[in-house]
Amino acid sequence: MQTDTDSITLVFLHGFLGSRHDFDRVIKKLPEKLQKHCVSLPLPGHHNSQPADYRESVGYIRSRLIAENVTGDFILYGYATGGRIAICYAFQARDPHLKGLFVESASFGISDEERKLREGKDLMWAAQFAFKPPEEIVRAWYSQPRFSGMTDQQKETIIKKRKNQDFENLAQQFSLTSVAKMENFRDRLGELPFDVVYLYGELDEKFRLAADREKRYSNFRAYPIAGASHNIHMFHPENVAEVIAGNIPGEN
């Protein structure tokens, strides 16, 4: 990533059910001069913001950057849903100030065959978020295999944090940003004029396979995090901060 660390801004996008504070521990582990240039944005459909599809989310991110006074060069770091929105922004916004992309546990798109299966699965999740008791559905969400690296205590802590939200909004947001509705960028990573740094947990088989698939691109760098599952930044902030600092010239 060819950029000046004295002026570059790191912009973090959290995942579904998350908040802009999810990366606070990562930011605190970064070198001090990077900490001064970090901004975390709330996703659409979260914390009193309106739900938005991928196209609208690109516009939303652009408006939030202006609101946060990010007018110069920046790098996007996105986790899960935030990662998919970051990927869409990279391809669709045509923003000359975007100088790099960090993606944590997120898909670059799926095939048409996979899309049909995923549509049905995600419709069922969206319905559950809309109609089931919040704690029940949040507990079910974090019982998925992708979160197998979390201890029972860690799951209880995160369930307590996530259950007090507007679940009607979240259900709509989940549906609008299902990976089934995302354009497939798998075969286009080489078009990006900067590096794509990909973080995945070694316990998260789905995204380990995704990393293996994309390694054919010269601008793709994959970083497996030992002992981690899906939400690496929550429980391995030191590792995430190390990968970030190691991929910005002047910090490694």
How does DSSP classify residue 248?
S
Instruction: State residue 148's pLDDT score.
Output: 86
| Count of Cβ atoms closer than 10 Å to residue 86 Cβ | 27
The per-residue pLDDT for range 114-140, each reduced to its tens digit, is 998 999 999 999 999 999 999 999 999
Alpha helices in 93-225 (DSSP H): 112-131, 134-141, 152-162, 167-176, 205-214
- The pLDDT, as a whole number, for residue 250 is 53
Residue ranges for the chain with pLDDT beneath 50: 1-5
Distance separating the N- and C-terminal Cα atoms of the chain? 12
Q: Which domains does the chain have, with CATH numbers?
A: 9-111+182-246 (3.40.50.1820)
- Which pLDDT does position 48 carry in this prediction? 83
What pTM, to 2 d.p., does this model score?
0.95
In whole angstroms, give the CA distance from residue 13 to residue 43: 7
Measured CA to CA in angstroms, residue 3 lies from 79, 88, 91, 190, 214 at distances of: 22, 21, 19, 19, 24
Q: What is the pLDDT of residues 75-119, one digit of tens each?
A: 999 999 999 999 999 999 999 999 999 999 999 999 999 998 999
Predicted local distance difference test score (pLDDT) of residue 1 = 41
